[in-house]
Amino acid sequence: MTEFVDAGTLVFMLSLGTMAFGGALLLATHAGDRSTRFWAMGFLLGGAGLLLLLLRVLIPLVMSIQVGNTVMLAGVACMVAALALYAERSGMLFGVALWFLASAVIFNVSASPPILAPVDVRVMIIAVLVATSQLLAVVILWKVKVEYVRLLNLLRASHIALGLAFLARFVYIAQANVPSDLLDPYPFDNSAIPSGLFFMAAIFLAFVQGPTFVLLKKEEADRKALEARERLTNEVAARWAESRVQAAQLQDARADTIEHFARGVAHDANNILGVLQLGYGEVAEQVKRHEPVRPAALELMGTALDQARVTTSGLMALGGHQAPALEEICIEAMVGEVGSMLESTLPVNIQLEQTTEPSLVGYTHRGFLVSALFNLAANARDAMPQGGVLRLATRHRDELPAGIHRIGEPLTGPMVDIAIGDEGPGIEPEVLDRIFQPMFTTRDHKDGHGYGLYMVQGVVERTGAALVVDSTPGRGTTMHLLIKEVSRG
């Protein structure tokens, strides 16, 4: 065998192969993969160190022996550090750094004057240091757990075998009785069969370790990618199922809302139709008997029609996105009309008290405003089941009144304040933020449907008005509906 290959040739092949592998791997690895980059640097430095050793006859001994072995040890340290990063055992990096510093110091001290240890001693030191590094690598890899262990076991076995090879090298040199020049691998004599066998084993194990680690990393990356795809598939399926559930819940909520809203509108419509039917029956009976029609019946029907107009105006305020046509409205006449409507709906234990400042002209939508005021008055009425005074007042203002809750536009300048107050229990702070939400009511659903104040909010927002709520628990509530005032000049 030694006739066609010697130890020097094997070392040369090992150095070129490791450098080529390390360089190619370094170029192919992205910067974020630290473990693979350290692995590539290890092979690149290890091959460079061996090449410096081979150039011993061409370069100074210090460069060849001390720098070459130090670079080679740095390469081994990079490879062990790569294993520590792969195994996620960053605490071992400190141990690897200590190993490299200790190894570099020990070897360079032994190879420097005045010690200048013989070649066989230096080779034995390198053998022990490299064997120690392989033991450290095995310790790092021992607790690694992967799904497919064959490549991991192969990598472990290669480090064990390489460590044993260097220990065997140490033992052979220590026990050899041949002259030391035959043991010196620099230059390598063709008769040094043990050196050739050692370096053949080193080449084989090095070329096993290199791709095995890369394949192990690829296998892990493929497994993580598969797991990620599975998680993504499961997440998409879960979100799809969740969206289906949410769609079904939304559909149910819409159906409940429509049913609830329709029930409320039907309730109001039935009341109006009942009054109209009663008035119509009375008028028809009077006409049938050729009796004069009594005004009370006509007033009753007129009140019902006014309530119908209020309801439809409120519905119009909720629907559509176009701004309503605003006009100048005489506030005194409009409030008087609302007051007349309210008087016919108030129970006997509630007294209506009106205070109107004359000559006020507001810029708003008449039907929307009537609907809002009637709904506010209905809430004030319902807040006093034991009776009391319902106050309806108008006045000029130059700034918004004080209040604990506001909706609509932050009006400035002259404005008309239409205030509706009650002597009820007031509104609790935790309830105040919810009173304008649709379907929210503090009354039983058979009496209230939670759309009155929601309609008021729609009127306020669509007509550029503002609403300020002034409520004190135990002392009543006043709703200030504010609209822009038309200049009196």
Taking only the tens place, the pLDDT of each residue in 292-333 is 877 766 766 666 666 666 566 555 555 555 677 888 989 988
CATH for 7-237, options being 3.50.50, 1.10.3470, 1.20.1070, 3.40.30: 1.20.1070
**Which residue ranges make up each domain of the chain?**
7-237, 317-484
Matching residue, tokens 């550090």? 81
Give me the half-sphere count of Cα atoms (radius 13 Å) on the Cβ side of residue 200.
10
- Burial of residue 304 (CB within 10 Å: 0-12, 13-18, 19+) is buried
Beta strands 350-355 and 388-397: pairing type?
parallel
Q: Is the pLDDT of residue 181 over 50?
A: no
pLDDT digits (tens, 9 = 90+) for 30-56: 878 899 999 999 999 988 988 888 887
Structure tokens at 239: 């979100």
Q: What is the pLDDT of residue 186?
A: 41
pTM given for the model: 0.50
C-beta atoms surrounding 158 within 10 Å: 22
- Domain 317-484 fold is Heat Shock Protein 90 (3.30.565)
CA–CA separation, 251 and 334 (whole Å): 41
C-beta atoms surrounding 257 within 10 Å: 12
Q: Is the pLDDT of residue 446 over 60?
A: no
